[in-house]
Amino acid sequence: MRRLAAFLISLVALAATLWWFRVPTTVAVLWDIADGPAGRGGHRGAEPARSTVSVDVSGRPLPADLYAPADPGGAGLVLLPGLTAQGKADERLVDFALNLARAGFTVLVPDLSGRATLSAGTADVPEILATVAHLSDRLGGRQVGLVGISYAVGPAILAALEPAGRERVATLVSFGGYHDLTHMVAWVTTGQRRGPDGAWIKGSVPDLAVWFFVAGNVRLLNDPIDRHLLNEMARRRWNDATVPVGDLAARLGPEGQAVFALLTNRDPEAVPSLIGTLPERLRAELAALDLSKRDLKALPARLVLVHGKDDPVIPWTESVSLAAATDPARTDLFLIGKMGHTEVGGIGLSDALDLWRAISAVLGERERLEEQTGPRASGTGAGR
């Protein structure tokens, strides 16, 4: 009985604290999550206005969807899609953008050109920076936030490390992001991840993960025959992971054989050496996207890292590793128990409170962005 009373007292104290910490909007966002796609849950009043704008990328137009809140307060977010063929039109992404706009953010979602090849790479960085600049200028030169989902977190952080990104990005929010790309390749190909003690732990990676890797990187091979054969393998395996591909593998040239050796390897310790045998362009791209090789403590933006412990695509330990590589004074990490890669399951009280804290942290960044006193206010991204 005493334990129960102590628990109830703690819960009341927590509720009282949370009431003063952005409760109405936080509850509305939580309700929207529970309400599912296109739900408006706890939000009432005028809906955000959605329109398509054109972002200039060195003279080339890039379409982007703008979500304008009914009562804009000056806080802007650039939202980057994960690996989805639908890009900015993906229903889950549209729902997320609407929820953020209902919470008071002006949201801009670019249709990154990597969507056509299911890739998130270094080619996205100039497009991300152009989209950030477009939204910043639209908001009178204010710094903005940048939200990356899944593998888009890598290009998002690379953009934030660029001089233009350092100047304009005050906040970076990561949902299900990665840190060490070698570990990620090991996870995708062998189904094993690094544990806290450095040991390899067997997991359950989706069968399609390795073919997403192929689809996103085969463009970097020089040999068109190898590109065609690997794409055909991915097409065959897309719906059935057991379909034979040996006839295609036998026709691969040196570049394709190096990729296929990595795809079929099941020893995580062999991954670094197998990456070293990949074609130069592919090897260089993987190295450029490897955040573990970057000085992330020098990143001026404040970081909010959210990861589901049930994520089968990118292990939650990657966000733990990412947080450890950044400045702890500017980083918040939230691990949600019953959360997958892009969806929330039947969460309990503890997970709900963790999700509450994560949403409150994002809303806190909205307040910080709104408090800027001038265009690209000096030091806005340097902390709270």
Q: How many CB atoms lie within 10 A of CB 221?
A: 22
- Residue 9: the pLDDT is 36
Which comes out higher in pLDDT, residue 224 or 81?
Answer: 224
* Structure tokens belonging to residue 317: 């330990």
Which comes out higher in pLDDT, residue 290 or 11?
Answer: 290
**Residue with tokens 């991954």, as numbered in its chain:** 271
Q: With H, G, I as helix, E, B as strand and everything else as coil, classify residue 172.
A: strand
What's the whole-number mean pLDDT along residues 167-180?
95
Confidence band for 350, pLDDT divided at 50, 70 and 90: low
Q: With H, G, I as helix, E, B as strand and everything else as coil, classify residue 334.
A: strand
Assess whether pLDDT exceeds 90 at residue 138: yes
Assess whether pLDDT exceeds 50 at residue 29: no
Confidence band for 348, pLDDT divided at 50, 70 and 90: low
* 113 neighbors 50 (Cβ within 8 angstroms): no
Which comes out higher in pLDDT, residue 67 or 104?
Answer: 67
Assess whether pLDDT exceeds 90 at residue 375: no
Confidence band for 133, pLDDT divided at 50, 70 and 90: very high
Which comes out higher in pLDDT, residue 255 or 89?
Answer: 255
Question: What global pTM score does this model have?
Answer: 0.84
- Cα gap 109→82, rounded to integer Å: 11
- Cα gap 348→245, rounded to integer Å: 43
Chain segment 200-223, per-residue pLDDT in tens: 999 888 888 898 889 889 999 999
What's the whole-number mean pLDDT along residues 140-149?
94
What's the whole-number mean pLDDT along residues 168-174?
95
What's the whole-number mean pLDDT along residues 52-65?
96
What's the whole-number mean pLDDT along residues 325-336?
94
Q: What percent of the chain has pLDDT over 90?
A: 57
Assess whether pLDDT exceeds 50 at residue 382: no
What's the whole-number mean pLDDT along residues 75-88?
87
* 113 neighbors 96 (Cβ within 8 angstroms): no
302-308 β-sheet, strand order: 49-57, 60-68, 106-110, 76-80, 144-149, 169-175, 302-308, 331-336
* 316 neighbors 307 (Cβ within 8 angstroms): yes
- Cα gap 302→330, rounded to integer Å: 5
CATH number of the domain located at residue range(s) 23-31+38-180+292-382 in this protein = 3.40.50.1820
Q: Which residues make up the CATH 3.40.50.1820 domain(s) of the chain?
A: 23-31+38-180+292-382
Q: How many CB atoms lie within 10 A of CB 288?
A: 16
Chain segment 245-300, per-residue pLDDT in tens: 999 999 999 999 999 999 999 999 999 999 999 999 999 999 999 999 999 999 99
First to last CA, the chain: 41
Assess whether pLDDT exceeds 60 at residue 164: yes
Mean pLDDT of the chain: 83
Query: What is the DSSP secondary-structure string of 214-268?
Result: HHHHGGG-S-HHHHHHHHHHHHHHSS-TTS--HHHHTT--HHHHHHHHHHH---G
Query: What is the DSSP secondary-structure string of 71-117?
Result: S--S-EEEEE--S-TTGGG-HHHHHHHHHHHHTT-EEEEE--GGGGG
